[in-house]
């Protein structure tokens, strides 16, 4: 199996067929950004996500933490979805936000929390009928 095939398999397992096909097509496209998609598949997903030493759940926790600190809500949402697919629970993801809070501050957590709530809504994971939606931190 080539690095590209391994990377595509990791993306498929963590993010689904559609994400794997989209990233693979982007890497093959010979258009602007294609080399970046290729590096993502060959290096980030094939070389790093398949290394021994940390399981995918742990790698998801690390990735989400980095995205919180960098205030990258779109990437946080992607990695939260992958984390859920890698076996993380909503409670564990909430604990990541709480753990990061004293280090990155409320604005960074509020940004990630809004992204998290979108993932929760998209996946239909909020089953509390009394929940009226995220109202912000204040």
**b/e code 26-56 from CB counts within 10 Å (16+ = b):** bbeeeeeeeeebbebbbeebbeebeeeeeeb
Average pLDDT of the residues of the chain: 92
Looking at 1-138, list the stretches that DSSP marks H as alpha helix, in order from N- to C-terminal side: 3-15, 17-28, 34-39, 56-69, 73-85, 90-104, 106-123
CA distances from 78 to 41, 72, 124, 131 (A): 15, 10, 16, 24
- Report if pTM > 0.75: yes
Percent of the chain whose pLDDT exceeds 70: 91
């Amino acid at each position: 199996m080539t690095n590209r095939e391994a990377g595509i398999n990791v993306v498929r397992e963590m993010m689904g067929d559609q994400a794997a096909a989209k990233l693979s097509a982007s890497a093959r496209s010979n258009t602007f950004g294609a080399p970046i998609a290729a590096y993502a598949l060959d290096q980030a997903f094939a070389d790093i996500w398949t290394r021994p030493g940390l399981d995918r759940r742990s790698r998801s926790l690390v990735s989400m933490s980095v995205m919180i600190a960098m205030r990258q809500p779109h990437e946080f949402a992607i990695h939260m979805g992958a984390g859920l697919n890698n076996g993380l629970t909503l409670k564990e993801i909430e604990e990541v936000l709480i753990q990061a809070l004293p280090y990155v501050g409320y604005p960074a957590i509020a940004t990630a929390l809004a992204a998290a709530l979108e993932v929760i809504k998209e996946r239909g994971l909020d089953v509390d009928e009394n929940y009226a939606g995220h109202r912000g931190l204040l």
